[in-house]
Structure 1
Amino acid sequence: MTLGTDEHLARLGEQCGDFALQCSDVAGFVTQVNQRIEDDHGRLETLRHSVAHLQLLQDEANEAATEIRDVAQRATGLITDSHGAVVGALDEIGCLIDDVVRMGDELEGFTSAIEQVAMVSGQLDAIVRQTAMLAINASIEAARAGHSASGFAAVASEVKRLAGNARGATASVRNSIERLDGSARRVIGDMRSGAERGRAARSRTGEITGALETIAALVTQFDQQSAAIERAGHDVTQHVATLDEGLGAFLTRGTENAAELARTRQRLDELESASNRMLDQVAHSGIATPDSRFIDLACEEAERLRAVIARAIETGGLAEADLFVTAYRAIAESDPPQFMTGFVPFADRVIRPMLDAATARDPAIVGCCLIDRNGHLPTHISARCHAQRTGDRRWNAEHARNRQIFMDRQTRDALDRDGDWFLYTYRQDLGEGRYRPLRSVFVPLHFAGKRWGCYELGYLI
């Protein structure tokens, strides 16, 4: 069966719409890939900064390891040089301690000699006392003998005198010996105590030598470990440098890929725009297509809405300044952000019921709305005008679309072009990477001879 020209054009229009949607899908995918590349690029930049910081820290660690090894080597040299001197000094101390011990033993013998002298001194004292007694007896006998024994009396007197002198000398010697004995005993006591400490110290010299040898062994091990740390640090530095080089190359390739994807996205956008222009041209040819009823409905509803707004301006129900105001007032804590204008209350009260009624005229229609020249939606259908939920951005993006600002390429193109109406196929952004394919009719709106924005009717394909 041969198809007529009109049917060919209708099919061409549909194919152009399908191609535009496919371009939009691919462009959306490219955009997501490009966004992931950009996100990865940012993370890689952060990682590269971390690697650079790690490189600085590793350089500091390498310097510290080198200094530690230098200190360990110097310590090893000092211990090696001083080990002999310390051992020699300990040996000399040991000899001195032996001398002290030996002097203590000799003083012990000296004490014995003093005790012997004290015994002899006691014996001399006994002899002196006996001599004195003899002298006294001799004097008594001489006195009895009278003059004839005067010579004997003189001898007895002299013996007595000598015995007294001997007694004094003996007492002096005894006192000196006692003092010498006391001093000698104190010295001996000190020498004994010193000798005991000397013997204990002598036994510790071996421990000191062993401890010194242990320290020397530990310093040697420390030097070996620091050398291993230094080698490992240099290996880490090389690996970090390799990682940094690889990250740099990967970042360069990522940047090039992102640029290439951006160019690809631009070409896809151009193809999508060209396909939508062809779709729009076919729809404007007057040939009946599946889009015709939606185009007619959009134009009809846009005209009805335009008349209502124009009449409100004429009667004072709406100020023209409020209609064209661009001083958007952000609504606090809204997410995505919403904005109020002087036109919003009128739009909610008067325009929203009209949008609901138009949407209900065909099951395929997903919604009708107004868009000013900056992409602001003063109101929407009731199903899209719910109060926002705190902390639920995804839900808000889909169910609280009123008072938000949306600006995609199709909307921007429709707002910038002059004509009676425009037909587009595109993917509607629902937020957080969610989309759905739509076809929309945009009808320009003018008030008081000025372009205000567009009336949009969106429907499922």
Structure 2
Amino acid sequence: MSIEFDTRFGQELCEVFSAELGLVCSFMGEEGRIVASGMPERIGTTHAIAARIMRGEMDEYGVTKEEAAKSSGMREGVNMGVDFEGQRLINFGIAGPLETVRPLARIVRFCVTSLLRIRQEETHIVAAFARETGGLGKQMIEIAEDIDEVATKVADQHTLLTELQHGIRELSQANERIAAAMEETLAGATAASSEAETSQQRVRSSLGDIDEMARMVTDGRGLLLDLQNAMGNVVGVAQGIGHIARQTNLLALNATIEAARAGEHGKGFAVVAGEVKELSRRAGSASLEIRQTLEGLTGTAGKLVEQGDHSATKASGLTAETGAIADAMDHIRASLSEMVGRVTNVAGDATSIHDRSSDLSTEIDQAASGLVEFRTRLDAARLRLQELLSAGERLVVLTAEAGIETPETPFVALAREKAREIGFLFEGELAKGALSAEDLFDESYLPMAGTNPPQFTARFTAMTDRVLPAIQEAAKSANERVVFCAAVDRNGYLPTHNSEFSKPQGSDPAWNAAHCRNRRKFDDEVGLKAARNTNPFVVQSYRRDMGGGRKALMLDVSAPIMVNGRHWGALRLGYV
């Protein structure tokens, strides 16, 4: 690591000597050129003795009072070389009495070398710290990515828990409806069971009545048969009466004839015969009516007997059917009793499920709240890591600006150099009239049809395709750690990329994202910070999106591209 003399420190020291001691001193560098002096007008002039000391011809040279008196160009004093780690770094010269200024010069030499040594140690410490910070930066990026991944999974889990919450609530509400329905069903089943038991008792009682009625019908049929037989007997008696009446009528007729023959003596007998005849007629009529009535009653009785037979048959069937109904009612009552038991169990289970669902919903709510809190803490941790990462990036910038060698120094120098070259190149294109300033700073990005990810063109794209590849490819090949080198405008639009990343697009968007990165807009946080930065350079660490969910850890140094004093964009250099 090369050490340079701090001329600002030298100038301040010279001014202190001049103000406090009234002595003139100077620091001389290569070829004896004065770089700091108590007499500022001498800065830039050369000193012959200092030139010899800087060439190593001598270590110091003292001019005595006598020697100074003999030479018009010399003054009494001493010039002394200041060495550091075997290298002649600077020459210190001081005018004045030799016995006074020589010790002062040696003190200055000691102080300068001590300060250089301290600065070197500080530089080593800062460089080591910068290296460690760079390593920590990579680790912090990886941690941040892990946090992002965990946060994404936590968000997914929270979404699932939210859906589960809704499902549990719906299940709980459904269980409430089921429990209410089960209570209604249980009440209905209990009432039905009670009604079935009552109906069973009624059917059993009715069955007894029907059996009794069937018995009475059967007994009535027997009575009707007896009645029918009795009426048959009465018909026979009536027929006998009719026969007697006919015989009596014949007898009366004979008596009338005999009375007529007897004349006056037979008149009384004729009256009796007439009455007997009338009685015979009436007995015959009565016998006929009785017979006719009995025949009608017998027919009716026959019909009653027939109906009785039919009723007895029906009664017997009704008894069997009523028995079957009684058995069915027994089965229904048993089934309803069993259903009541089962509904009671289901109602109990539904109540248990509802209670468990309520408990589970509460537990899920607590888990969801815990996930929200965890995600909040993850976001806070990610922000703190981002702040640490930004601080590390600022440290890299500060160490590079201080001239301290770090692993990023070569890339910073390369990016700044190529950014200046591109700026000069664009100025030349404007001067030649290849395009106008309006074209160069065009922001009307035209989408390219059928591209995925989308690509665009601007009015300066053709020019960058023509002039940038040589510079960008050279920068990419300058160091094996360099992954890409590309210019972007202030909006993150990248017109021309390295050939490796400028393939024609195909049908696979993931492949396109990794291999077709030209004519793309990289307007994410990292891309815009690089594109819009106007400081000498900026260093960032990030994971580069390679498409298909793949990301590559990348360090990015960018330097602004200025065109005739106007900020066009930046040269981005990505390396690992």
Contact conserved, 1:34 with 1:262, CA < 8 A, in 2? no
One-letter code aligned to 1:200: A
Q: 2:350 matched to which residue of 1?
A: 229
- Offset of residue 245 of structure 1: 1.4
Alignment of 1:244-393 (within 5 A): 244-282=365-403, 301-332=418-449, 334-352=451-469, 355-356=472-473, 359=476, 365-393=482-510
Contact conserved, 1:114 with 1:177, CA < 8 A, in 2? no
Contact conserved, 1:444 with 1:453, CA < 8 A, in 2? yes
Q: 1:400 matched to which residue of 2?
A: 516
In structure 2, do the counterparts of structure 1 residues 428 and 174 end up closer, same or farther at CA, with 3 Å as the change threshold?
closer
Based on CA coordinates, which of the two structures has the bigger radius of gyration?
2
Deviations 1:145-194 (Å, cap 9, x if unpaired)?
56148748646633641353134313431343145225413542452244
Q: 1:177 matched to which residue of 2?
A: 297
* Higher relative contact order (CA closer than 8 Å, sequence separation 6+): 1
**SS of 2:493 mapped into structure 1:** coil
- Offset of residue 228 of structure 1: 3.5
The range that moved more, 271-280 or 352-361, is: 352-361
Q: 1:434 matched to which residue of 2?
A: 551
Contact conserved, 2:487 with 2:569, CA < 8 A, in 1? yes
**In the alignment, does 2:206 pair up with 1:90?**
no
- Offset of residue 369 of structure 1: 1.6
In structure 2, do the counterparts of structure 1 residues 221 and 428 end up closer, same or farther at CA, with 3 Å as the change threshold?
closer
Q: 2:134 matched to which residue of 1?
A: 21
Contact conserved, 2:130 with 2:396, CA < 8 A, in 1? yes
- Offset of residue 403 of structure 1: 1.7
In structure 2, do the counterparts of structure 1 residues 433 and 263 end up closer, same or farther at CA, with 3 Å as the change threshold?
farther
- Offset of residue 230 of structure 1: 1.2
Distance in 2, matches of 1:264 and 1:335, equals: 33
**SS of 2:571 mapped into structure 1:** strand
In structure 2, do the counterparts of structure 1 residues 61 and 426 end up closer, same or farther at CA, with 3 Å as the change threshold?
closer
The range that moved more, 77-86 or 180-189, is: 77-86
One-letter code aligned to 1:165: S
**In the alignment, does 2:326 pair up with 1:211?**
no
**In the alignment, does 2:169 pair up with 1:56?**
yes
**In the alignment, does 2:268 pair up with 1:147?**
no
One-letter code aligned to 1:452: W
- Offset of residue 343 of structure 1: 1.9
One-letter code aligned to 1:161: R
TM score, norm. by length of structure 2: 0.67
One-letter code aligned to 1:379: T
TM score, norm. by length of structure 1: 0.81
Distance in 1, matches of 2:494 and 2:173, equals: 59
Q: 2:220 matched to which residue of 1?
A: 107
Deviations 1:20-73 (Å, cap 9, x if unpaired)?
531331232122122123213322331332343244224424533542453355
Number of residues of Structure 1 aligned to a counterpart in Structure 2: 451
Deviations 1:187-219 (Å, cap 9, x if unpaired)?
424522441243124413243134213312320
Distance in 2, matches of 1:158 and 1:3, equals: 191
Distance in 2, matches of 1:439 and 1:52, equals: 45
In structure 2, do the counterparts of structure 1 residues 456 and 69 end up closer, same or farther at CA, with 3 Å as the change threshold?
closer
Q: 2:35 matched to which residue of 1?
A: none
Contact conserved, 2:448 with 2:456, CA < 8 A, in 1? yes
Contact conserved, 1:62 with 1:234, CA < 8 A, in 2? no
The range that moved more, 330-339 or 260-269, is: 330-339
In structure 2, do the counterparts of structure 1 residues 459 and 249 end up closer, same or farther at CA, with 3 Å as the change threshold?
closer
- Offset of residue 259 of structure 1: 0.8
**SS of 2:520 mapped into structure 1:** coil
Distance in 2, matches of 1:391 and 1:25, equals: 30
**SS of 2:341 mapped into structure 1:** helix
In structure 2, do the counterparts of structure 1 residues 73 and 15 end up closer, same or farther at CA, with 3 Å as the change threshold?
same
**SS of 1:282 mapped into structure 2:** coil
One-letter code aligned to 2:378: N
In structure 2, do the counterparts of structure 1 residues 91 and 265 end up closer, same or farther at CA, with 3 Å as the change threshold?
same
> Which residue of the other structure, out of 160, 165, 177, is the alignment partner of 1:47?
160
Deviations 1:393-449 (Å, cap 9, x if unpaired)?
2x2222111122224548625732333xx3747456143342144564x44322243
Distance in 1, matches of 2:515 and 2:318, equals: 97
Distance in 1, matches of 2:481 and 2:146, equals: 31
Distance in 1, matches of 2:169 and 2:489, equals: 55
Deviations 1:84-105 (Å, cap 9, x if unpaired)?
6334423431232133212212
Contact conserved, 2:235 with 2:291, CA < 8 A, in 1? no
Contact conserved, 1:69 with 1:227, CA < 8 A, in 2? no
In structure 2, do the counterparts of structure 1 residues 423 and 257 end up closer, same or farther at CA, with 3 Å as the change threshold?
closer
Contact conserved, 1:445 with 1:454, CA < 8 A, in 2? yes
Contact conserved, 2:476 with 2:482, CA < 8 A, in 1? yes
- Offset of residue 83 of structure 1: 5.8
- Offset of residue 453 of structure 1: 0.9
Identity of aligned residues (%): 18
In structure 2, do the counterparts of structure 1 residues 280 and 413 end up closer, same or farther at CA, with 3 Å as the change threshold?
farther
Contact conserved, 1:10 with 1:282, CA < 8 A, in 2? no
Alignment of 1:124-139 (within 5 A): 124-131=237-244, 133-135=246-248, 137-138=250-251
**SS of 1:260 mapped into structure 2:** helix
Q: Please, what is the CA RMSD of the aligned residues?
A: 3.8
Deviations 1:4-26 (Å, cap 9, x if unpaired)?
88998997787466435313312
Contact conserved, 1:72 with 1:223, CA < 8 A, in 2? no
Q: 1:164 matched to which residue of 2?
A: 284
Structure 2 segments unaligned to the other structure (5+ residues)? 1-84, 88-115
The range that moved more, 357-366 or 321-330, is: 357-366
Contact conserved, 2:489 with 2:568, CA < 8 A, in 1? yes
- Offset of residue 244 of structure 1: 2.2
In structure 2, do the counterparts of structure 1 residues 247 and 299 end up closer, same or farther at CA, with 3 Å as the change threshold?
closer
Contact conserved, 2:400 with 2:409, CA < 8 A, in 1? no
